[in-house]
Structure 1
Amino acid sequence: MATYTSRTVTSTRREWIVPAAQPWGSTAEEIQKAWGAADAAYREACGLHDAPTPGDALRFHVGDDEIVISFTVEAAS
């Protein structure tokens, strides 16, 4: 008889896209708004209340004409 278990893990990636078209890119104000929204969503998704957001929670990726702020959460089912 086998002695193992299995599970399925579903990953959800949330993204906030800030336009950053050339030649001017994006403003700090727009980055700050998206960063704040992403941080709030991360805190809600992970059930953080008064604890600080971990420094590696959000990822920033630069595209040709956008900056993408994202995080990924996983849920076992």
Structure 2
Amino acid sequence: MADYTTETVTTTVHRWIVPAAQPWGAAGGEIDKAWDAARRAYWASKGVPDGGPLPDDALRFHATDDAIVISFTTEGAR
């Protein structure tokens, strides 16, 4: 008889996309709003009250050709 287990993990990427049209780039106020929304969503995903600890690597920022993307990933067994 085989002795092993199996699992399937679903990964969800949460993204906030702030337009950064050339030549002006992204507006600081829009980055701030998206960052705040991403923080709140991260806390909610972890069951932490707003204003709780936020690990340094919780949110990722990526610059694309025409946007700044803030993201985090969650995983769950299916």
TM-score by length of 1: 0.94
Structure 2: how far apart are the matches of 1:45 and 1:51?
A: 12
Q: Shift in Å at residue 5 of structure 1? A: 0.6
Q: Shift in Å at residue 61 of structure 1? A: 0.5
Structure 2: how far apart are the matches of 1:74 and 1:51?
A: 20
User: Which residue number corresponds to residue 72 of structure 1?
Assistant: 73
Moved over 2 A (4+): none
Residue pairs, 1:1-77, within 5 angstroms: 1-49=1-49, 51-77=52-78
Partner amino acid, structure 1, of 2:66: D
CA RMSD of aligned residues (A): 1.1
Structure 2: how far apart are the matches of 1:67 and 1:37?
A: 14
**Aligned to 1:51, what secondary structure does the other structure show?**
coil
TM-score by length of 2: 0.92
Question: What percentage of aligned pairs have identical amino acids?
Answer: 60
Between 1:9-18 and 1:48-57, the stretch displaced more is 48-57
Structure 1: how far apart are the matches of 2:52 and 2:24?
A: 36
